[in-house]
């Protein structure tokens, strides 16, 4: 089964600085705030590459902007985690690949685990190794991120008394 890319804490699309990609003929920038400094810094570095800027309001307007882009467009996203996730997911649904999109967060990444006892996913601290799920299970955070479950597969263990 093919799993579409999703945004997670180790996504290749995440970057601390947007870098102009010379292989693309056009830039499509989606930001949650017009003229945010990361956006103006990028636009300066794009030189004469044509670019469009879309200020994110909701998924459907973002979708219309993404769909309107031509082949050979590279996408740059500056937003907080929740908005970036929505934009990324929408772009992937419209056929944008991970190689065609860069995401710079304005806040921290969120990390999720998937509990193998109660089969739900929940947010955890980035650096957590062991956590306790809302169901009570003590979980060891595994290395495998499930795109289907949208979390790191985490296994229950019995803590030492
Ligand atoms: Zn659980």
Each residue of 92-102: pLDDT tens digit? 999 999 999 99
Ligand 1 centre to CA of 148 (Å) is: 17
Query: Does residue 13 carry a pLDDT above 80?
Result: yes
Query: Does residue 118 carry a pLDDT above 60?
Result: yes
Ligand 1 centre to CA of 139 (Å) is: 8
Tell me which of 66 and 148 has the higher pLDDT.
66
For strand 26-31 and strand 73-79, is the pairing parallel, antiparallel, or unpaired?
Answer: parallel
Q: What pLDDT, on the 0 to 100 scale, is given for residue 2?
A: 61
Query: Does residue 1 carry a pLDDT above 60?
Result: no
Query: Does residue 141 carry a pLDDT above 80?
Result: yes
Q: How confident is the model at residue 121 (pLDDT cuts 50, 70, 90)?
A: very high
Tokens of 92: 């992937």
Q: How many CA atoms lie within 13 A of 156 on its CB side?
A: 12
Q: How far apart are CA 73 and CA 113, in angstroms?
A: 33
Ligand 1 centre to CA of 141 (Å) is: 12
Q: Give the bridge partners for 65, in sequence order.
A: none
Mean pLDDT for the chain overall: 93
Q: What pLDDT, on the 0 to 100 scale, is given for residue 112?
A: 96
Tell me which of 2 and 30 has the higher pLDDT.
30
Q: What pLDDT, on the 0 to 100 scale, is given for residue 36?
A: 79
Ligand 1 centre to CA of 84 (Å) is: 27
Ligand 1 centre to CA of 107 (Å) is: 27
Ligand 1 centre to CA of 8 (Å) is: 20
For strand 151-157 and strand 26-31, is the pairing parallel, antiparallel, or unpaired?
Answer: unpaired
Strands (E), 17-120: 26-31, 51-55, 73-79, 101-105, 111-115
Summarize pLDDT for 44-89 with one digit per residue, the tens: 999 989 999 999 999 999 999 999 999 999 999 999 999 999 999 9
Ligand 1 centre to CA of 159 (Å) is: 15
Ligand 1 centre to CA of 155 (Å) is: 9
Average pLDDT of the residues in 106-114: 93
Ion ligand 1 contact residues with beta carbon within 5 A: 115, 117-118, 133, 135, 137
Helices (H) and strands (E) in the chain, counts: 3, 9
Ligand 1 centre to CA of 12 (Å) is: 28
Q: What pLDDT, on the 0 to 100 scale, is given for residue 77?
A: 97
Q: How confident is the model at residue 34 (pLDDT cuts 50, 70, 90)?
A: low
């Amino acid at each position: 089964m093919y799993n579409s890319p999703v945004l997670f804490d180790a996504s290749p699309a995440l970057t601390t600085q947007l870098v102009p990609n010379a292989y693309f003929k056009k830039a499509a920038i989606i930001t949650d705030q017009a003229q945010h400094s990361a956006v103006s810094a990028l636009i300066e570095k794009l030189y004469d590459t044509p670019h469009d800027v879309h200020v994110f309001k909701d998924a459907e307007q973002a979708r219309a902007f993404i769909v309107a882009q031509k082949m050979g467009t590279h996408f740059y996203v500056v937003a907080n985690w929740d908005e970036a996730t929505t934009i990324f997911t929408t772009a992937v649904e419209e056929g944008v690949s991970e190689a065609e999109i860069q995401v710079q967060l304005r806040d921290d990444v969120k990390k999720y685990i998937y509990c193998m006892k109660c089969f739900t996913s929940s947010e955890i601290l980035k650096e957590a190794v062991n956590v306790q799920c809302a169901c009570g299970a003590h979980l060891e955070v595994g290395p495998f991120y499930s795109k289907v479950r949208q979390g790191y597969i985490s296994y229950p263990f019995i803590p030492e008394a």
